[in-house]
Structure 1
């Protein structure tokens, strides 16, 4: 239903939608790095209870590895989990629950749903 409303809204406009792969989308990459930098600053100032960094500078959120939005690494994490011989091609909810045990990123649930529905 939601897609139909968007189609109705957009059909009167002359537009084209272009996809920018992760490597080509420098703006998203810069924003991701900037966001991570701000979180690390908050950790140093003692203002963050949820996030920590380890001795190698790796960012963790409540014991889960924070995966940056750089060079398609998030999609690679999802892909590896999806093709694991132990997963037997789970649905989106099972995939998300399995991944959320070890990984975290903003919008992870949506990314998993998009990947599984491909």
Structure 2
């Protein structure tokens, strides 16, 4: 999965995720300042991309972060810290 297709998949899944769908509507109605849209049109919470609850997409992102073509195998703890810096992903380690 390329970076561009990952962005597209996250954006599509944000539109159908029950929780994030409501947050998207709040952003368009000047809702809470914590939620916003980034330049790629992705819903963000405090500047971090909101990860939809989609097991396949989440697995794919984890795979790419840990063992994908461009991963430098930084180790589990560093990988999770890096993902936490980029994504709002409650229960990431579970």
Give the TM-score normalised by the residue count of structure 2: 0.64
Number of residue-to-residue matches in the alignment: 78
Given the alignment of the two structures, is residue 73 of structure 1 paired with residue 53 of structure 2, yes or no?
Answer: no
- Structure with more of its chain in helix, by fraction: 2
Q: Corresponding residue for 1:86?
A: 72
What residue ranges of structure 2 are gaps of 5+ in the alignment? 1-12
Query: Aligned partners of 1:99 and 1:58: how far apart in 2?
Result: 16
Highest relative contact order (Cα 8 Å, sep 6+), 1 or 2?
2
| Bigger Rg over Cα | 1
The Cα RMSD (Å) is 2.4
TM-superposition CA deviations, 1:60-83 (whole Å, max 9, x none): 122222221235111111111111
What residue ranges of structure 1 are gaps of 5+ in the alignment? 1-28, 112-118
